[in-house]
Structure 1
């Protein structure tokens, strides 16, 4: 997730009275949870204060973020995508829990598509794919027997020269860690900074109530992943890592899809030649799968797979 627009919304006092009567759903992907709203006519206006109020866990519905399902033609960003990808009919309008706009969210993409199906807005049998628009570009999602697999597109280093030369490009400090740790900055369409830790006890001791300090910080800030490689790292051709994450505009979450991809990118890079293309990423909310493959344009892409669940529907009072 990514705070691309600064807001000053009071998360405990967001006034949602203007949204009275609005239908919503609540869903999650490995514990990363969202308020979901269908806007097929593109008429709903959401202020940051409304989003923050709905996502407030004490005075609202509660969620790490809010997703509005809206036809791409109703948004300038969606219209730009339609010019190149006319099949990207639906746009995932994603907001962080504090009301700020975000490029996209890997777990949110799966929940978004599951929501479209549940609302009868699309028909997607198992094995078939759907193209959607996001502020992070067009994404292709395949419905699988166990959930959804998303082509997250190509990854890249935020500081490619530093990463290639030293396998690290920044230092990260966090409460619970005695000294700053080296890290690698990866873009999955939104920025991430990945820190490798030595053992599970160190991961558990890291306190993420406040945002970690990153030096240097990428221009638009960053999400921070703390990762412990399994021992052995690779078993039967698949790598395994365990991760916790602090997301901008949210705080610590149960899971982060783009963060899981970035963590796999970094650990695979550090592991060197012969590192596998398939990874299991354990997060507090469950397990997601990450795979690397060469995309149609010749760049390496990342696929994220995992479940999506709708847990409730209702109407705002």
Structure 2
């Protein structure tokens, strides 16, 4: 099976062109190939597929085999892949995801995609739709005790659930220790991605992210969008004004518009192309247990 390794500011996935390849049991393949010691290494597996309702379709599987609704950084990488590989000559494309159709605008440099703006759709703020186990109209700056500390949490969905915390000393937080306690807290029936953000000013944030199914990653596109939405809800940032977010892997530019939609702009990069044998995949899949 041929694959491409790509990353969006350090959020790295293994991409398979399913116009040419067939991937059986992709949840198990994701576990096998995401292993950074025995596989290719990555935050998960992304399938680029035909669509009946958009230009292309994506399916994305986390490193633990669970299927995600979508991924902002991966959408940008798909935009670069389909243009640079000649699957389209359009610079405005539609992408079907498990959380609806996303709209991508591709920016070129030397006839290759240099950066991508993704219309991520409208932020979801009603707790039951995120989902969060709460009867509140919105879950904004609510105190929750986790790991012996009270955290003020704001919850947002960008097609997948996010819990956002604004705090100081983000760089010193032990995410390996506290991250799983947020991810699996009883508040979140589908688990949750957790963002820890530090305010620099009303147009600049620092952020780290713990992603459900993958652990700490260098970046999370939907999480960055959710963080800016949460910043607006908490009076830190303003709607219709671009916010620069610094992540471990690089920077994203986010605008939370007054109509409720969120725009995300950032780069996408190739790392390498490769081939993995069917024999290796099939043998490794025999011992894989996935998290559904």
Equivalent residue in structure 2 for 1:64, among 43, 60, 75: 43
Count residues with an aligned counterpart: 263
Name the counterpart of 1:135.
Answer: 98
Residues 277, 212 of structure 1: CA spacing in aligned structure 2 closer, same or farther, 3 A cutoff?
farther
The structural deviation recorded for 1:100 is 1.1
Residues 312, 132 of structure 1: CA spacing in aligned structure 2 closer, same or farther, 3 A cutoff?
same
Tell me whether 1:37 sits opposite 2:16 in the alignment: yes
Structure 2 distance, partners of 1:273, 1:68, is 35
Tell me whether 1:293 sits opposite 2:257 in the alignment: yes
The structural deviation recorded for 1:139 is 0.3
1:136-285 pair list within 5 angstroms = 136-145=99-108, 146-159=114-127, 162=136, 164=138, 167-169=140-142, 171=144, 173=146, 179-197=149-167, 199=168, 202-210=169-177, 211-214=179-182, 216-230=186-200, 233-234=201-202, 239-271=203-235, 277-285=241-249
The structural deviation recorded for 1:168 is 2.2
Write out per-residue CA displacement over residues 33-79 of structure 1, whole angstroms, 9 at most, x where no aligned residue.
01000011674323422211111111111111111111024xxxxxx
Write out per-residue CA displacement over residues 207-264 of structure 1, whole angstroms, 9 at most, x where no aligned residue.
111434345522211100000000xx13xxxx11000000000000000000000111
The structural deviation recorded for 1:119 is 2.5
Structure 1 distance, partners of 2:143, 2:69, is 23
Verify the 8 A CA contact 2:26 2:61 in the aligned structure 1.
Answer: no
Name the counterpart of 2:67.
Answer: 101
Equivalent residue in structure 2 for 1:309, among 260, 269, 280: 269
Verify the 8 A CA contact 2:2 2:21 in the aligned structure 1.
Answer: no
Report SS of the residue matched to 1:111.
Answer: helix
Report SS of the residue matched to 2:175.
Answer: coil
Write out per-residue CA displacement over residues 15-37 of structure 1, whole angstroms, 9 at most, x where no aligned residue.
xxxxxxx1110000000001000
Verify the 8 A CA contact 1:243 1:281 in the aligned structure 2.
Answer: yes
Structure 1 distance, partners of 2:55, 2:76, is 16
Verify the 8 A CA contact 2:170 2:208 in the aligned structure 1.
Answer: yes
Residues 170, 113 of structure 1: CA spacing in aligned structure 2 closer, same or farther, 3 A cutoff?
farther
Unaligned segments of structure 2, at least 5 residues: 109-113, 129-134, 278-292
Structure 2 distance, partners of 1:282, 1:123, is 32
Structure 2 distance, partners of 1:37, 1:274, is 38
Verify the 8 A CA contact 2:158 2:226 in the aligned structure 1.
Answer: yes
The structural deviation recorded for 1:300 is 1.1
Moved more, 24-33 or 150-159: 150-159
Write out per-residue CA displacement over residues 107-148 of structure 1, whole angstroms, 9 at most, x where no aligned residue.
010011111123221223xxx310010001000000125400
Report SS of the residue matched to 2:67.
Answer: coil
Structure 2 distance, partners of 1:50, 1:208, is 27
